[in-house]
Structure 1
Amino acid sequence: MKAIDLFAGAGGLSTGAAMAGAQVLWAANHWPTAVQWHTANHPGTVHACQDLHQADFRDAPAHDLLLASPACQGHSRARGKEQPHHDAQRATAWAVVTCAEVHRPQAVIVENVREFADWTLYPAWCAAMNALGYALAPMVLDAADHGVAQNRLRLIVVATRSKHPVELKLPRREHRTAASCIDFSTGRWSAINKPGRSLNTLARIAAGRRAHGDRFLAPYYGSGSGESGRSLGRPIGTLTTKARWALIDGEQMRMVSAAEGAKLMGFPNGYRFPANEATAWHLIGNAVPPPMAADVIDALRTAV
């Protein structure tokens, strides 16, 4: 199976495709940093750094499978009501339609936040894909059900050139614990009760200690991370583009590192990310968990 990857980012979908035995021929993203690191991890793939609104998809190679993760920021609740939900970001989904019209691959897999289906133009987007001969099978999946140590709910739309929507027989894998991805011997630890620590942070840590004991995960910011602590014996909550989870060990704490975040996202050992923590988290938080992608592509291969 030959694939291309639009809005490829750090390469979660590409990595999942490779895990499922597909060959990713071409990958594109508008952000040079994302293209740089996708190239570092997928050197055999041809890369394009461009605004996909303006792409000439005749330049992309013929393929059996189109993978795409259009911008989610215009749809996600995590962005907050006070932030603009730009039409320009939402409109990235139309690039999928354009590319599918040019190449008519046998299958298309689109990943986004669940709120993508609430977009006012989502019915029109689906109708456009239908007009190209695709039957759509939307489903909401939790990455934790696919062996990823993270509860991450995402909408997956599987489009196939078939009369009826495809029915995928997806495995339900054993949940991995957050602890399996955490290294307590590394990192920059600090005292929990140091001067200047936010009272809200201290309150969340105190609540977590009552519920989970001395070692647990605590949301460091209220926005986008919830208010309660989380046991290390279960998957971590959804990772975002910023380090938002703190690791508590007795009277000391540190932020979960980007290296740990990559493991919590399901990237394989040795997958390369930038040394800068903020940049690495931006790539990780926008990524698709590779094992979830691999399960979907494996099931699709069996079904079609």
Structure 2
Amino acid sequence: MATTLIDLFAGCGGMTAGFVAEGFQPVLAVEHNLHAASTYAANFGEDHVFNAAEKPGEFSGDIEALPDDDIPEVDVVIGGPPCQGFSNLGSRDVHDPRNKLWKQYLRVVQKARPRMFVIENVDRFMRSSEFALLLAEADGGMLKDYTLSYGVLNAADYGVAQRRRRTIVIGSRTGHVPLPQPTHARDVDGLDDDLAPWRTVRDRIAELPEKPTTTLLPNSTATWFGVEVPGSFKGLDLHIGRNPTAKSIERYNHIPPGGGRFNLPDHLLSNCWRNKKTGTTDVMGRMRWNMPSVTIRTEFFKPEKGQYLHPQWDEHDPENRVNRPITHLEAALLQDFSPDFLWCGSKIEIARQIGNAVPVGLAAAIARHLKAHLN
């Protein structure tokens, strides 16, 4: 019998993709954004995606509208409730209206009675009032039946070609379940033979064309939930470039792998960079072929936002340099999505889905770990 799954705040389905790869069966997904929900539906099916809209051709994925009676009992619940609007650390009041999204996650756990649940969030989550709230609920509150394990995991340690640190919480009502042990390491010399070396940017994007042929997504639409949306796109559809200015290209040309704004000559510095001598070291940075990427955020197509320049750069031959930011396809591959994964939405909307996703390989590692304990 299949191991059943609910994905809350599902986004485009990065976490579901990892769990499905390990044999889990999603039976309910909740996502409020139409385009992200459409991407999810394109890959995993529309029938189990919650839609509260009362009229045909409309979509409403607000988790607060999810009826208790529509929440099935499952083996595992996963998701990452957004961090926003919480009360101060001292109050820990789950009934504070600003805590409604967390309260909704806990409500679903109570109704679904999963044997285990997984919460993922940003690395600083463990230092937040939200985390204190969670621990309080496991101490005689809404999660009193669950034992929690938690910590910060680096996706690169689990076979993802990206250094992305995320807080992971595992709750279990069938006994203590620790966090999964790393399968990969930066330096495997002298370490356990079972650890593989980190996967690199080269592993994921080296085979792609260096020069995108277009700046536009194909002109096509798909219909999900009775609503027409841009899509579905996959593979080279997402290998789209930009039109940088001549000054931007000149800046890119000065930046070696691992470098950034501090490699720019004075005449190419903006005033804010010239006046800020420290910090923001990743700004206008170039990736390195033989390392995992930095965290892929929602604006990876803007080099001024981080280390998002293509890694190809030859110190001695300017003609052998790729002076552009990574494409949507390259970002998706660095998030460990398959080239055949389907995407819906505009360029901005798809970029947001990619950057907000849980890396598929990290989700798969967690899924394998949970499945071993479930069995």
Q: TM-score, normalised by structure 1?
A: 0.81
Residues 7 and 68, structure 1, Cα contact 8 Å, conserved in 2: yes
Q: Please report how far the alpha carbon of residue 290 of structure 1 lies from its aligned counterpart in structure 2 after TM superposition.
A: 1.2
Q: 1:260 aligns with which of 314, 322, 330?
A: 330
Q: 1:121 to 1:180 in 2, by over 3 A?
A: closer
Find the aligned partners of 2:280 and 2:83 in 1 and give their Cα distance. Answer: 15
Q: Please report how far the alpha carbon of residue 74 of structure 1 lies from its aligned counterpart in structure 2 after TM superposition.
A: 7.0
Q: Would you say 1:229 and 2:277 are equivalent positions?
A: no
Q: Would you say 1:246 and 2:290 are equivalent positions?
A: no
* 2:178 aligned counterpart, secondary structure: coil
Residues 190 and 253, structure 1, Cα contact 8 Å, conserved in 2: no
Q: Please report how far the alpha carbon of residue 169 of structure 1 lies from its aligned counterpart in structure 2 after TM superposition.
A: 4.3
Superposed, 1:166-185 pairs within 5 Å as: 166-173=177-184, 174-182=197-205, 183-185=208-210
Q: Please report how far the alpha carbon of residue 52 of structure 1 lies from its aligned counterpart in structure 2 after TM superposition.
A: 1.5
Q: Which residue of 2 aligns with 1:19?
A: 21
Find the aligned partners of 1:12 and 1:88 in 2 and give their Cα distance. Answer: 29
Letter in 1 for 2:324: R
Q: Please report how far the alpha carbon of residue 267 of structure 1 lies from its aligned counterpart in structure 2 after TM superposition.
A: 1.0
Taking only aligned residues, the RMSD between alpha carbons, in angstroms, comes to: 3.1
Q: Which moved more, 1:229-238 or 1:32-41?
A: 229-238
Q: 1:144 to 1:285 in 2, by over 3 A?
A: same
Find the aligned partners of 2:281 and 2:6 in 1 and give their Cα distance. Answer: 33
Q: Which residue of 1 aligns with 2:235?
A: none
* 2:151 aligned counterpart, secondary structure: strand
Residues 190 and 252, structure 1, Cα contact 8 Å, conserved in 2: no
Q: 1:208 aligns with which of 249, 256, 271?
A: 256
Letter in 2 for 1:246: L
Find the aligned partners of 1:275 and 1:207 in 2 and give their Cα distance. Answer: 32
Aligned residues: percent identity?
Answer: 26
Find the aligned partners of 1:226 and 1:170 in 2 and give their Cα distance. Answer: 29
Q: Please report how far the alpha carbon of residue 29 of structure 1 lies from its aligned counterpart in structure 2 after TM superposition.
A: 0.5
Residues 191 and 253, structure 1, Cα contact 8 Å, conserved in 2: no
Find the aligned partners of 1:142 and 1:126 in 2 and give their Cα distance. Answer: 22
Q: 2:77 aligns with which of 66, 69, 72?
A: 66
Q: Please report how far the alpha carbon of residue 255 of structure 1 lies from its aligned counterpart in structure 2 after TM superposition.
A: 2.0
Letter in 1 for 2:282: G
Letter in 2 for 1:158: I
Q: 1:105 aligns with which of 111, 114, 122?
A: 114
Q: Which runs of 5+ in 1 are unaligned?
A: 76-86, 213-221
Letter in 2 for 1:170: Q
* 2:106 aligned counterpart, secondary structure: helix
Q: Which runs of 5+ in 2 are unaligned?
A: 52-60, 87-95, 185-196, 214-240, 261-272, 274-278, 303-307
Q: 1:252 to 1:44 in 2, by over 3 A?
A: closer
Q: Would you say 1:37 and 2:93 are equivalent positions?
A: no
Q: 1:148 to 1:6 in 2, by over 3 A?
A: same
Superposed, 1:11-160 pairs within 5 Å as: 11-43=13-45, 46-49=48-51, 50-72=61-83, 91-130=100-139, 131=141, 132=143, 133-160=145-172
Q: Which moved more, 1:45-54 or 1:93-102?
A: 45-54
Q: Please report how far the alpha carbon of residue 18 of structure 1 lies from its aligned counterpart in structure 2 after TM superposition.
A: 0.5
Superposed, 1:189-208 pairs within 5 Å as: 195-197=246-248, 202=251, 206-208=254-256
After superposition, the C-alpha distances for 1:140-168 in whole angstroms (9 at most, x for unaligned) are 111111111111100110000145x3124
* 2:161 aligned counterpart, secondary structure: coil
Number of aligned pairs?
280
Residues 37 and 273, structure 1, Cα contact 8 Å, conserved in 2: yes
* 1:254 aligned counterpart, secondary structure: coil
Residues 257 and 288, structure 2, Cα contact 8 Å, conserved in 1: no
